[in-house]
Amino acid sequence: MAYVVVPGIDGSDEAHWQSRWEAEWGADAVRIAPGSWQAPDPADWGAAVGKAYEAVAGRGPVVLVAHGPGCWAVAEWLRRAWPEGAAAFLVAAPDPHGPAFPAQAAPGFLLLRAEPLPCRALVVASTDDPYRTAGKSAEIAAGWGARWRDVGPRGHLDTASGVGEWTEGRELLRGFDAVGEAGPVGTRR
């Protein structure tokens, strides 16, 4: 199993669960490196996802592990590239049209729509994420044709939320990895 780590705006700091997991995965993980971290451009981020995917594609199945706007970059890249053997673990996908979304910093994301993905995907969301409502999260997951998992009140599931290593997320990812191509990957709680 190989992983492509796709953080949100500004990347994930060292205390973020994505950075911790990436460190554990070592050579089995590659983080995207777009040129537009602070003012995300979907095309730039999509190209970065593609480059990172190519770096690990020969190592077996690849799970794209995304957070925040990175979820949208992964979804757009997947719909264009149709990579074989990929899966998407999408955490805290924001609503680009919601009042808290940084539209001035990332205006290109306002044009994106949740359309069916060509691979299995799991959208993980909390009930009190400031970047979208739980109902909107379920709607985005449905648009992507993804399973949806509500993990209760955990904020944006980032460093500021205090989830730390995010053990529950690791368990969800392990279950997602174990399912492979065989069946469903999650349920609504």
Whether residue 185 lies inside any domain: the answer is no
Whether residue 115 is predicted with pLDDT greater than 90 in this model: the reply is yes
Are the C-beta atoms of residues 20 and 3 closer than 8 Å to each other?
Answer: no
N- to C-terminal Cα separation, the chain: 27
CATH of the domain at 91: 3.40.50.1820
Task: Kindly report, residue by residue over 154-178, the tens digit of the pLDDT.
Answer: 999 999 999 999 999 999 999 988 6
Q: How far apart are CA 81 and CA 109, in angstroms?
A: 18
- Positive or negative, the CA dihedral 135, 112, 10, 27 is positive
Q: What is the mean pLDDT of residues 12-20?
A: 96
Whether residue 188 lies inside any domain: the answer is no
Number of domains comprising the chain: 1
Task: Give ∠ CA 45-151-56 in degrees, rounded to 5.
Answer: 35
At 134 the pLDDT is: 77
Under the banding of pLDDT at 50, 70 and 90, the label for residue 180 is low
In order, the DSSP letters of 21-88 are HHHHHGGGEEE---S-SSS--HHHHHHHHHHHHHHHGGGS-EEEEEETHHHHHHHHHHHHH--TTEEE
Whether residue 20 lies inside any domain: the answer is yes
Under the banding of pLDDT at 50, 70 and 90, the label for residue 61 is very high
Are the C-beta atoms of residues 60 and 74 closer than 8 Å to each other?
Answer: no
Under the banding of pLDDT at 50, 70 and 90, the label for residue 187 is very low
Domain region containing 120: 2-178
Q: How far apart are CA 150 and CA 126, in angstroms?
A: 6
